[in-house]
A = this chain, B = another copy of it.
């Protein structure tokens, strides 16, 4: 979910941008195109409206430390911190199947850094697979605007081979083991088509 500021600026989750955290908000969030998250949310709304699937993004996990209750108005959270998610961001139901995925983007051209994934997200995907669910990742190379569908079993296999000298997946491997999703307008990123073609 992209949160709207009163001034119309979008809040974009900054967890993967730690190095930039001292930069001011206006600089950080300016000049962004449509984010992967927005494209996926619109795709999910498309699926939902047409009764194709029921897939939602989970809310951003926050540790709430302080809540103020002004009389006669809504409770205000006045202090909260972003938490690492214990699962992937998206899940739901398609043709009776449990669907679970994570979506990430990189500005790299030839590789996708593992640091985009938390250990417990990978662990979650292992569990989903062993329980018979469909788990995958949507990986966008933002410079070339390409989105790949990569089954979790491949992502996990790459992840397990990571190390000091291997901190990312090669784009060539993602091309080989994944599926390039044609992006459109309606839906923008038709990832269920890949599931239909390859996984059902």
Question: Does the CB pair A54–B128 fall under 8 Å?
Answer: yes
Inter-chain CA distance A119–B31, complex, in Å, is: 38
Q: Which of B48, B58, B131, B133 contacts A59 (CB 8 A)?
A: B58
Question: Does the CB pair B131–A63 fall under 8 Å?
Answer: no
CB neighbours of A59 from chain B (8 A): 58-62
Q: Which of B53, B66, B133 contacts A54 (CB 8 A)?
A: B133
Count of interface residues, chain A, beta-carbon cutoff 8 Å: 56
Inter-chain CA distance A61–B71, complex, in Å, is: 22
Inter-chain CA distance A169–B130, complex, in Å, is: 39
Q: Decide yes or no whether A127 CB sits under 8 A from chain B.
A: yes
Question: Does the CB pair B132–A95 fall under 8 Å?
Answer: yes
Question: Does the CB pair B14–A131 fall under 8 Å?
Answer: no
List residues of chain A with CB under 8 Å of any chain B CB: 1, 3, 5-6, 11, 14, 21-25, 48, 51, 53-54, 56, 58-67, 69, 71-72, 74-82, 86-87, 91-98, 100, 124, 127-128, 130-133
Known: A60-B64, A94-B131, A124-B54. A75 touches B81 (CB 8 A): yes
CB distance from A151 to the nearest CB of B (A): 16
Interchain residue pairs with CB less than 8 A apart (22): A11-B67, A14-B67, A21-B69, A25-B69, A48-B127, A51-B127, A54-B127, A54-B128, A54-B133, A58-B59, A59-B60, A59-B61, A59-B62, A62-B77, A77-B79, A77-B80, A78-B79, A93-B98, A93-B132, A94-B131, A95-B131, A96-B131
CB neighbours of A22 from chain B (8 A): 69, 71-72
